[in-house]
């Protein structure tokens, strides 16, 4: 069916070696023959067989993204990743790379699936998300010498891999600053219960800002829950039961905020009126919620594109002539002021 390099060679009455060289832009082929090969390739609708190429080159030409579903009893997923994947895939496609997604069961730490991807060499590199503070996936990959990049930072693995993260620490501090400026002193923080690194960073920024404003840190105002609606719903009442309840709450993401607001509403507390609410990672949900929630907006699709670039730049086989290099970036989170605080 599909035409091969042999078909082209036969058609042009030259050898397959020459055809291959012409197609791959090598120097040792006559400009005229190259043109004839290119024309014939277009005419015969030729496209290289990936299996043959992969076998010969020892690379699969695909990148695996380990998609982590929500932990907890959650049927729906994280819309966060879709635009990120859009950017990632678009950039990879420019280099002829496929994006394959590997999903774990909820709560599963992906270690097993990751090992399978690496050992069976299904991909040339992997992209990890939702990095943990100590991340065994990163330890494993660095130790195995397998190329990878992460969306998010971690304490594992040192600086040996490319990573792109958002500045959750600054966002946490900015949120506190803003609330303090509006007269709040009792500010609660609600974050994921897992050791997801952005939860730590957020809390670090929160505490630092509190200290700067001379406000004592109160453990009663901090709570951890599943990073979804159920988590926010379950955990928000805890901070409200404090002896001196908060007048403001910072949620780590939109789903937790939604659940939290539901819990507040059930006790007659109106977000935006009776209590201030800020969300760290903004989504359309924040924009269209009533009241519209103040939040910090990430540039997800550009992040996907950028991480693809960074990953490719770190792999000798894909990096240009300038050689491989490790890039690590932290992008700002832009505050979008709305009606909830």
Interacting residues with a second copy (CB under 8 A): 2, 45, 47-52, 54-55, 60, 62, 67, 69, 74-83, 85-86, 89-90, 98-103, 105, 119-122, 228-230, 232-233, 255, 258-259, 261-262, 265, 283-285, 287-290, 292, 300-301
Separation of alpha carbons 157 and 141, rounded Å: 9
- Regarding 16 and contact with DNA (CB under 7 A), the answer is yes
- Regarding 28 and contact with DNA (CB under 7 A), the answer is yes
Show Cβ contacts of residue 161 under 8 Å, excluding neighbours closer than 6 positions: 138, 141, 142, 148, 149, 150, 314, 326
- Regarding 6 and contact with DNA (CB under 7 A), the answer is yes
- Regarding 95 and contact with DNA (CB under 7 A), the answer is no
For DNA, the binding residues in 32-61 under the rule CB under 7 A are: 32-33, 46, 48-49, 51-53, 55-58
Kindly state the DSSP code that residue 293 receives in the 8-state scheme.
P
Per-residue tokens: 313: 């730049």
Per-residue tokens: 180: 């303090």
Please classify residue 143 by burial: count the beta carbons closer than 10 Å to its beta carbon, then call 0-12 exposed, 13-18 middle and 19+ buried: exposed
**Binding-site partner at residue 28 among a second copy, DNA, none, CB < 5 to 8 Å by type:** DNA
Q: Which of 15, 95, 111, 160 binds DNA (CB under 7 A)?
A: 15
**Binding-site partner at residue 21 among DNA, a second copy, none, CB < 5 to 8 Å by type:** DNA
User: For residues 13 and 120, which CB has a smaller minimum distance to a second copy in the complex?
Assistant: 120
Separation of alpha carbons 271 and 167, rounded Å: 26
Per-residue tokens: 160: 């040996």
- Regarding 243 and contact with DNA (CB under 7 A), the answer is no
- Closest separation in Å from C-beta 95 to a second copy: 14
**Binding-site partner at residue 20 among DNA, a second copy, none, CB < 5 to 8 Å by type:** DNA
Separation of alpha carbons 194 and 265, rounded Å: 26
Q: How far is CA 200 from CA 78, 133, 196, 203, 285, in A?
A: 20, 8, 7, 5, 24
**Binding-site partner at residue 300 among a second copy, DNA, none, CB < 5 to 8 Å by type:** a second copy
């Amino acid at each position: 069916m599909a035409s091969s390099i042999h078909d082209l060679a036969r058609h042009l009455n030259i050898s397959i070696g020459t055809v291959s060289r012409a197609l791959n832009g090598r120097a040792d082929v006559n400009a005229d023959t190259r043109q004839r090969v290119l024309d014939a390739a277009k005419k015969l609708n030729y496209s290289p067989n990936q299996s043959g190429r992969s076998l010969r080159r020892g690379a699969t030409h695909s990148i695996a993204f380990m998609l982590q579903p929500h932990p907890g009893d959650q049927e729906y997923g994280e819309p966060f990743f879709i635009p990120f994947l859009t950017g990632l895939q678009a950039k990879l496609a420019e280099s002829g790379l496929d994006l394959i997604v590997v999903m774990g069961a909820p709560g599963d730490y992906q270690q097993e699936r990751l090992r399978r991807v690496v050992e069976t060499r299904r991909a040339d590199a992997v992209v990890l998300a939702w990095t943990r503070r100590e991340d065994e996936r990163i330890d494993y990959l660095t130790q195995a010498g397998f190329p990878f990049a992460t969306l998010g930072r971690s304490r594992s693995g040192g600086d040996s891999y490319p990573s792109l993260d958002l500045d959750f620490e600054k966002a946490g501090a900015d949120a506190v600053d803003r609330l303090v400026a509006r007269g709040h002193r009792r500010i609660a923080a609600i974050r994921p219960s897992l050791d997801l690194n952005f939860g730590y960073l957020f809390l670090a920024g929160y505490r630092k800002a509190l200290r700067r404003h001379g406000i004592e840190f109160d453990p009663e105002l901090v709570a951890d829950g599943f990073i979804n609606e159920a988590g926010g719903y379950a955990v928000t009442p805890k901070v409200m039961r404090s002896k001196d309840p908060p007048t403001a709450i910072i949620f780590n993401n939109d789903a937790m905020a939604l659940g939290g607001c539901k819990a507040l509403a059930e006790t007659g507390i109106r977000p935006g009126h009776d209590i201030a609410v800020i969300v760290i990672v903004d989504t359309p949900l924040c924009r269209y919620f009533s009241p519209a929630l103040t939040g910090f907006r990430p540039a997800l699709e550009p992040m996907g594109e950028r991480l693809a670039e960074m990953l490719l730049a770190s792999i000798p086989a894909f990096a240009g002539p300038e050689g491989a290099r490790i890039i690590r970036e932290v992008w700002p989170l832009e505050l979008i002021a709305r009606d909830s605080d």
